[in-house]
A and B are shown apart, each in its own frame.
Chain A
């Protein structure tokens, strides 16, 4: 490790590795830090990703693909099931291998990658940032840079250090749990969503196949101080009822901000990307594709800023505008839809899914679903329609 860089990226997940690759490719001296001893572990993800976004950054490789998905299913707690084709081709990843490959590509582009290197603070000078204070394998160190990119995940602290308002409201935060299970009989090409507040209050359960009778089985739920049961409790109930012969290969838990991104993602000499910037989809909390986009955009803006000799917040806010142009409209819509859905009682939601499941999935259109919703729970349409028309 040197003491001076152009760009330091905190966190070697997809957002951080893409950011580091982007700046290194442009010839900037780039340091990519990973606090853990192993990049890609522990996996904290459902691992489904849309191909359209993915291929902008990396060509699909069988070594990090565990399944190809043909359809999504939407079920209610009674077992009625609506199967729909995905909006885009979808893959199930092997994140442990995928993340390591993205970091390798960053290194290949010229970035220096180090593990067991934890950022403990930002070195500030006036309003700006001069670098990062580190703990590298137990030793306190400092590394200087013109720009710091915070890709430190859901538990990130770097946005706060940079002065950004990054604490989500509890209504915009999912608490989550997932098992990697084996010995379960599921269609290996269908990603299942299970919706019902009794299964996952304010969220949903998923069963995402990973081949070889394996699947990621998980849930997200809202954070409610009055709730007596935890995410793990709800997940255990879900799997006990459905997968009696399961074995569990891994358990992960975590929190996911679903705020529709930070109000500000850039400060003087600093940009936040990925989960650190709350870039997960505010409805489903899917975040691999958007995070890679966030990393790429921040990387591009870092390159321009250093070329222009201007790393001020004013310059770096280009990144926020570029993000908004790509994702802003759909994220605002998804955020509204989630909050509208939360008001729908479980029996109405179940009824909507049941009615839709009775129609021919091949010809099912958004109009058909809208008609069912109009009949079952018109208030939902009234809440959602303005955002489809207006934005």
Chain B
């Protein structure tokens, strides 16, 4: 089990195209897309991982703080 406090979804801005594919599948609605900014509310994120395979460019990953 990953502890919410010790892991978070990280955005690789070299790959992110700000398309919003991740926004649509996020159950807690914790991803916000502005023109060229993708923000993830890590406190609301449940680390459900649905956004990871939805991303067409593979820009999202889970980073574990201890790893």
Contacts and interface: CB of A to CB of B under 8 A. Distances in A.
Interface of A: 35-37, 44, 118, 153-157, 160, 166-168, 170, 173, 175-177, 223-225, 227, 230-233, 251-255, 257
A170 B54 contact: yes
A253 B53 contact: no
Given A160-B29, A167-B25, A255 B20 contact: yes
A227 B54 CA distance: 10
Interface in B34-67: 34-35, 49-50, 52-58
Given A154-B24, A223-B53, A254 B29 contact: no
A36 B35 contact: yes
A221 to B, nearest CB: 9
Contact of A227 (B24, B49, B53): B53
Contacts of B26: 167
Contacts of B21: 154-155, 175-176, 253-255
Interface size class of B (residues with CB under 8 A): 20 to 34
Which secondary structure dominates chain B's binding surface?
loop
Given A36-B35, A44-B19, A160-B29, A257 B56 contact: no
A60 to B, nearest CB: 29
B57 to A, nearest CB: 5
B57 A230 contact: yes
Given A118-B34, A230-B56, A156 B19 contact: no
B9 interface: no
A160 B53 CA distance: 22
B56 A253 contact: yes
A155 B25 CA distance: 9
A155 B18 CA distance: 10
Contact of B53 (A224, A233, A257): A224
Question: Chain B CB within 10 Å — which of A36, A153, A170, A254 has the most?
Answer: A254
Question: Chain B CB within 10 Å — which of A157, A177, A257 has the most?
Answer: A157
Contacts of B22: 255
Contact of A155 (B33, B52, B53): B33
Contacts of B55: 175, 230
Contacts of B57: 177, 230-232, 253
A255 B24 contact: yes
A44 B25 CA distance: 18
B56 A254 contact: yes
Question: Chain A CB within 10 Å — which of B49, B54, B55 has the most?
Answer: B54
Across the A-B interface, give the 7 residue pairs with the lowest CB-CB distance, nearest first: A155-B20, A255-B21, A253-B56, A231-B56, A230-B58, A254-B19, A155-B23
16 contacts: A155-B20, A156-B24, A157-B23, A167-B25, A168-B25, A175-B54, A177-B57, A223-B53, A227-B53, A230-B55, A231-B56, A231-B57, A232-B57, A255-B22, A255-B54, A255-B56
